[in-house]
Amino acid sequence: MNRKRGSVAGTETRSIDHVAIIMDGNGRWATRRGLPRLVGHRRGAERVREIVDISPDIGVRYLTLFAFSTENWKRAEAEVSGLMALFRRYILKEARKLDENNVRVRFIGDRSRLDKKLVALMAELEETTAANTHLNLTIALNYGGRDELTRAIRQLTVDVAEGRVDPQDVSEENISFYLDTRYLPDPDLIIRTSGEQRVSNFLLWQSAYAEYEFIETLWPDFTADKYAEIVAGFQDRDRRFGAVVG
């Protein structure tokens, strides 16, 4: 039996709770090389392995990856179908390694529109890795910040109407409980690859005090070294959370 990974011997890292990444640029990476867009997505999936593997070693305890948004259904049918097949293959191929490496995997987003076989694979991976502690990996699949808030408010209003929640008790903490990310700390750092400088409906509620890093690199070219450099730079930032430091 393989031993699950823990901390790296002989190294000391300053902990950063939560890094979230908008993995952008797969299609452009392929197009610039005269390749089908799905080739770019496959290369992007390969990059995920490297980023997941190094995260605990550079002090990251929670990693959230934006894989497919609620807006991505607008893409060509062939690309969407190819992406869904890629997600299934990724889970089937990576499940054992993720578990052996002591990675806990969760998915956020609305599963109602996803293929039932994919949803079953997602649930199985979540259950298999539920006790793992080395890294908390969250994959946002059919996720949108506004959609998440809409679903949360809908459930909250039901609970208020049925007497389970007193309207006077509704607070930021209470609302956060209804979000997909209720088990996660808010992100400290959000990285977006590909040069685009927008948040694209990602973790809207949770990112109130997150630091952002927008980089030109396309996701398939985003190396572990570049990732480690960005995280190290974040650890030197002065985060005030609205307070004035004298």
| CB distance 30 to 82 below 8 Å | no
Out of 24, 99, 180, 188, pick the active-site residue: 24
Tokens of 12: 């000391």
Q: 156 Cβ partners below 8 Å, 6+ apart?
A: 165, 170, 174, 175, 178
Out of 53, 57, 72, 159, pick the active-site residue: 72
Clarify whether 147 is annotated catalytic: no
| CB distance 151 to 112 below 8 Å | no
Q: Would the CA dihedral through 56, 62, 63, 67 be positive or negative?
A: positive
Clarify whether 72 is annotated catalytic: yes
Active site residues: 24, 72
